[in-house]
Amino acid sequence: MDMVPRMGVEGGMVVAAQPGDRIEAGSLAGAAGDPRAFDDLIGPLVETGYRLALAMLRDRDAAEDVLQEASLKAWRRLRQLRDGRSVRPWFLMIVSNECRRHRRARWARVIRLPQVPERACPEPAVDGLQLRQALAELPASDRMPLALFFYLDLPMEEVAQVLGVSPTAARARVYRAVRRLRLQVQEEDPA
């Protein structure tokens, strides 16, 4: 993890986020109100946030909108992030809440349609295609733990923080989602 030199002021240390790292926030007094420090703190998490939002919403534009809203809320709530708490699950929890809010919105329910792929992709193997279809048909409440644990590689403690549940409950939700995914695949391919 890289130190951010200008944040190394008295009592104010913020560790820059690196993909895959567990990010710790030192004293955040310097980051609140400082756009550059905010960029250092949240910027490296933007792509992870996009991956989560896309996994939840399956819509590129909606994922970007949600991420912008999450960034704005993170900026407003940065002071609520206490020292010693990890930044990544905190930010991803904001993203997941925004995804839920987006899905609840009437616009999303009535109008949103799956996007046509922008680029041609290699035809996936049959197994992969079935799995993708099964994954797409899972409810968002099951896609979320799968995305957090298997796709974003978050440790179970962070999955729990993002979901707002205990680690034991988070583990159970991942189990349950995997079981439903398997059932879904079997339904699509009884043979």
Partner 1 sequence: VKDEPRDSIKAAFEAELAESPPPADLRRRVIDHPFEPGEPTMVPWKILAAVASVLLAAAISGTLLVWHLNAAPAGDRRQPPVATTPTATSTPSPSPSATPSPTPPASSPAPSPEPTAVPVQGSGMARCDVNDLRLSRGTVGAAAGNVAFDFIFTNVSGSTCYLYGFPGMQMMDSAGKPLLPTPSRNGGQVIADNVPHRVDLAPGATASFTVGSVDPGVVQGGCPVSASVVVTPPDSYNHFTIPASIADCANPYGPYISPVVAGSQGDHR
CB of 57 to partner 1, least distance (A): 10
> Would you say 83 and 25 are in contact if contact means Cβ atoms under 8 Å apart?
yes
CB of 36 to partner 1, least distance (A): 9
CB of 27 to partner 1, least distance (A): 11
Decide: helix, strand or coil at residue 110: helix
Q: 85 vs 151, which CB is nearer to partner 1?
A: 151
Please tell me what DSSP assigns to residue 112: -
CB of 22 to partner 1, least distance (A): 19
Distance of alpha carbon 31 from alpha carbon 6, whole angstroms = 10
The site for partner 1 (CB under 8 A) is made up of 29, 32-33, 35, 38-39, 42-43, 46-47, 49-51, 54-55, 58-61, 63-65, 67-69, 71-72, 75-76, 78-79, 102, 105-108, 111, 113, 115-119, 121, 124, 127-128, 131-132, 135, 146-147, 149-151, 156, 171, 174-175, 178, 181
58: left (phi over 0), alpha (psi -120 to 50) or beta: left
CB of 105 to partner 1, least distance (A): 4
Maximum pairwise Cα distance, the chain: 65
**Type of residue numbered 88:** R
Distance of alpha carbon 63 from alpha carbon 54, whole angstroms = 5
Q: 85 vs 138, which CB is nearer to partner 1?
A: 138
Q: 33 vs 164, which CB is nearer to partner 1?
A: 33
Of 117, 126, 116, 123, nearest to 188 (Cα)? 126
Of 91, 71, 69, 87, nearest to 28 (Cα)? 87
Q: 58 vs 85, which CB is nearer to partner 1?
A: 58
Q: 69 vs 158, which CB is nearer to partner 1?
A: 69
